[in-house]
Structure 1
Amino acid sequence: MKTLLPLLRPHYWPTWLALGTLKALEPLPYVVLAALGRGVGSLAARLPLSFVRIARTNIGICLPELSDQQRELLVKEHFKSLGVGIFETALSWWASKSRIAKLTQLEGVEHLRAALERGRGAILLSAHFTTLEIGGRVLCDGHPGSVNVMYRPTGNAVLERFLARNRSRQAKRAIPRDDVRTLITSLKANEPVWYAPDQAYRKKGAEMVPFFGIPAATNTATSRLARMTGAAVLPYFQERLPSGKYRMVIYPMLEDFPSDDPVADAKRFNHLIELQVRRTPEQYLWIHRRFKGLTPDYPDYYKRKPTIKTSG
């Protein structure tokens, strides 16, 4: 009980309220949850939030071929997708396997089986789309007790405790992003690891790798991990379909991977993400500051424009 007392401070009450609300709403029909999500997202897109500014900046950087009108429409659609993602996250955490199975289809399982037959584990390489949580849930449901999930710990203690416990219940292990030792142990035990290394990474081993033609601080550890363990690397992407269902695809393991150049390998994966983004542009996580530079030599794309005060 003592360990729970710090989590009951007023600072965390909004988190408890949000989790309780999602838990209470999860049993509603999917069409209702999706409509609620689109409504929440539409409202958020109209507010003066930094997330809206970041999304608008990222879309402008990555998709310069779009007109101003098209970009604004994509920003609005993206926030609707984010809203739906909130409620499908509730499904991912609490819905029964039968309910998840009715909403989703997982393709390419044979590719994962073939990879594991090699006996050296498999890295399921994914990326941060608004459908990320349900993609992880489907993968764990399809391979109960065998899939390891890597995740980025959050600074919110209540949410961190909840996520760690929930993901550990669904997956074999929930591995914090910096726990490389457990990751390697899992691969050497011939287990699959779900891994999404596409966010800005400015720690040791980071390199500036083009993403949509723009240098982005990138984690290049994937090819080194594959070389160290002999694990197969398979792209894994998911998308929300217009029908309201979800399509998850495990692609064949990458050939000639890893190469002798980790930067080239990271560039190759970034290109795969770009192709998926163009399939479902509203579903990519545009609110992340992907183009934060490693050093001050790179542009500050997210710097707020100074407010010009007028006299009189």
Structure 2
Amino acid sequence: MARQPKYFDRSFKLALLHPKFWLTWLAIGLLVVFGIMPAWLRDPIARLLAKCVAPIAKKPIRIARANLTACFPEKSADEIDALVRDNVQNFVLVLLSQGELLVRSKENLRHRVTLEGFEHVKAAQAAGQPVVFIMPHVWPIDYAGLRLNLELPMVTMAKAHKNDLFNWFSNRVRSSGGGNVYMREAGIRALLAELKQNNSFFYLPDEDLGPEQSVFTPFLGTVKATLPVVGRLAQAGNAQVLPVKIGYNQQSRQFELTVMPAINPEDMVGKENEALALNKAVEQVILAYPEQYMWFLRLLKTRPEGEPSIYKK
């Protein structure tokens, strides 16, 4: 019996019309309405709504503040608070714009996302190599993936949402350029198979996956448990590893996407070297737009032995 493909099914199911999803349908409807809106109208609304987030998102904001304090020990409490406020605002700005990725045209996407550094991708293509793009968890990551998908074949991998309807919606958005969205359980083998078919994808190296097989490496103002796997994956798939950064410019109302030069394969020889190279790439991306990184993640949950959790109240 043939194995079932381990990517998300984008087809619509009647079960998604169940009353338990009606509130989710309402939320999706609002996102579509905001997606149709021009950015000059939507952005001021998003900035107003962002002021309502702090009182109802105390736990995520506490996590964000702990991460920022650990990563930027030189910043004062007031500076951390300002960065948290900017982070919340950018979260809402990007969230309310997500609908346009599904309902607006490809030309709109080209206009909304400026692209620089694509010569590095062309160099990889000229060498007959696919690309593993390195990007940490930033709010506009879907804009980056879909904009690049206009230029070259892409796939991605995502964690399933508990809400089946939102799961369907988010993966419809992410696959709107034609690429498959693989489930986490598909594993590295699925991505390797895609590389061998000349399909590129994003690898997110900043997630804390626990102490097993991870390496503690300097990261901003602290240390972080990093899983060094992308070097071996790129080598097995004959791929180049290119960091990517993206941020939303509220003045121009455009996302600024930049593909950075490839990481030297020699810099990723050995687990410690690879973890260091990955963290340096992640640092570059974060520092370009620190207010647009997902600081609400528990990216520092694994600590060196004897060191207490930074997330304790």
TM-score bracket, shorter-length normalisation: 0.7 to 0.9
1:223 to 207, 224, 231: 231
Unaligned runs of 5+ in 1: 306-312
Report Cα offsets for 1:271-294 as digits up to 9, x if no partner: 222233223221111111111117
Secondary structure at the aligned position of 1:150 is classed as strand
* 1:112-261 superposed matches below 5 A: 112-143=121-152, 146-179=153-186, 180-202=188-210, 205-241=213-249, 242-257=251-266, 259-261=268-270
Aligned residue for 2:3? none
- Per the TM alignment, residue 243 of structure 1 is displaced from its structure 2 partner at its CA by 2.1
CA distances 1:30-83 after superposition (whole Å, capped 9, x unpaired): 022222222222211233521111111111111121111111111111100111
Aligned to 1:30: 39
Aligned match of 1:92: 101
Is the Cα–Cα contact under 8 Å of residues 70 and 221 in structure 2 kept in the other structure? no
Which amino acid letter does the alignment assign opposite residue 65 of structure 2? R
Whether the 8 Å contact between 2:303 and 2:309 is mirrored in structure 1 is no
DSSP-derived class of the 1:46 partner: helix
Deviation of residue 261 (structure 1)?
1.3
Corresponding position: 1:18 with 2:18: no
Q: Report the identity percentage.
A: 27
Of the structure 1 ranges 51-60 and 236-245, higher mean CA displacement relative to structure 2 is found in 236-245
Aligned length: 301
The equivalent residue for 2:71 is 62
Given that 1:149 and 1:171 are in contact with CA atoms closer than 8 Å, whether structure 2 keeps it comes out as no
CA, structure 1 residues 129+2, in 2 after alignment: closer, same or farther (shift >3 Å)? closer
| 2: CA distance, partners of 1:171 / 1:295 | 42
Q: Which moved more, 1:292-301 or 1:222-231?
A: 292-301
Matched with 1:309 is none
Q: Find the aligned partners of 1:111 and 1:187 in 2 and give their Cα distance.
A: 17
Q: CA deviation at 1:226?
A: 1.4
Question: Larger relative contact order (C-alpha < 8 A, sep ≥ 6)?
Answer: 2
User: Letter of the aligned partner of 1:164 in structure 2?
Assistant: N
Q: Give per-residue Cα distances to partners, 1:235-260, cap 9 Å, x unaligned.
A: 11111124221211112221234632
Rounded to whole Å, the distance in 1 between the matches of 2:12 and 2:292 is 41
* Secondary structure at 1:26 match in 2: helix
Provide structure 2 residue ranges, at least 5 long, that are not aligned to the other structure.
Answer: 1-10
1:111 alignment partner in structure 2: 120
Q: Partners of 1:126 and 1:221 in 2: how far apart?
A: 14
